[in-house]
C-alpha cells in the first residue's frame, strides 16, 4: 500500500505541474511588437516631500531617461503616436510603525514604483509591475534605494519584452 500511495502522489504532482504549465497566461503580443511608446507621468506621491532628493517628477525623468538609453523603443510625443502607453508612478505611503519592547520606533514607509502598460487605442491595462524600494533612515540611502528599485522596473520590462509575442511568461 505505501508504494501505491507514493506512485499516486507522484502522478498527482506531475498532473498538477502539467496543469499549471498549461494555465499560464500569454504576454499580450502588442507589448513585444511595439516600436513606439509614450511615457505617461503617473505622479509621485510621497508622504513627506523631503524624504527623497529631486523634484516631484524625478521618477518620470529617470524612467524616461532609462528607456531612452535602452534604445528598444522610440519615444513618442503623445499617446496617439504610440503603440503602447507606459505610465510610471512612485508612491511612498506609510506602512507601519516598528514596535520594539513596547516602544514605538520610527514609522516605516513602503516606497514603491508601479509601471502600467496600456493599449493607446483601447486604454486597457495590458501589464503592470510593482517594485518596492527598501526603506531607509538616511536620505542618501533612500535615494540609492529609489534608483535601484527604478532600475529593477526597467529590468522587469526588459525581461517581459524578451518573451516572444504571445508566449507565456513561465517559459522565460
pLDDT in tens, 90-121: 887 767 666 666 665 556 677 889 999 999 88
User: What residue numbers bound the domain in which 55 lies?
Assistant: 25-165
Residue 158 has pLDDT above 60, yes or no: yes
Q: pLDDT class for 55, splitting at 50, 70, 90?
A: confident
| Cα–Cα distance measured from residue 164 to residue 148, given in angstroms and rounded to the nearest whole number | 27
**Within-domain flag for 89:** yes
* CATH number of the structural domain spanning residue 121: 3.30.160.150
The DSSP bridge partners found for residue 92 are: 46
Residue 151 has pLDDT above 70, yes or no: yes
pLDDT at 170 (0 to 100): 55
**Within-domain flag for 8:** no
Give the mean pLDDT of 160-169. Answer: 66
**Within-domain flag for 7:** no
Q: What CA dihedral angle connects 125, 131, 136 and 140, to 10 degrees?
A: -90
**Within-domain flag for 12:** no
Domain count for the chain, please give it: 1
**Within-domain flag for 18:** no
Which of the listed ranges 46-50, 102-106, 108-112, 155-159 does the model predict with the highest average pLDDT?
155-159
pLDDT at 57 (0 to 100): 78
Give the mean pLDDT of 4-13. Answer: 48
If DSSP codes are grouped into helix, strand and coil, which group holds residue 52?
Answer: coil
**Within-domain flag for 30:** yes
**Within-domain flag for 77:** yes
**Within-domain flag for 98:** yes
First-to-final CA distance of the chain: 40
Amino acid at each position: 500500500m505505501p508504494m501505491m500511495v507514493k506512485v499516486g502522489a507522484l502522478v498527482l504532482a506531475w498532473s498538477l505541474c502539467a496543469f499549471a504549465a498549461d494555465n499560464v497566461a500569454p504576454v499580450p503580443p502588442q507589448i513585444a511588437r511595439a516600436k513606439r511608446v509614450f511615457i505617461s507621468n503617473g505622479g509621485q506621491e510621497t508622504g513627506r516631500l523631503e524624504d527623497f532628493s529631486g523634484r516631484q517628477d524625478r521618477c518620470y525623468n529617470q524612467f524616461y531617461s532609462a528607456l531612452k538609453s535602452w534604445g528598444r523603443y522610440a519615444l513618442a510625443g503623445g499617446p496617439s503616436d504610440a503603440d503602447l502607453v507606459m505610465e510610471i508612478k512612485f508612491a511612498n505611503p506609510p506602512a507601519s510603525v516598528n514596535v520594539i519592547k513596547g516602544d514605538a520606533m520610527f514609522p516605516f514607509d513602503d516606497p514603491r514604483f508601479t509601471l502600467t502598460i496600456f493599449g493607446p487605442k483601447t486604454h486597457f491595462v495590458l501589464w503592470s509591475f510593482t517594485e518596492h524600494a527598501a526603506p531607509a533612515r538616511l536620505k542618501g540611502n533612500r535615494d540609492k534605494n529609489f534608483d535601484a528599485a527604478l532600475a529593477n522596473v526597467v529590468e522587469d520590462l526588459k525581461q517581459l519584452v524578451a518573451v516572444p509575442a504571445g508566449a507565456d511568461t513561465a517559459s522565460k
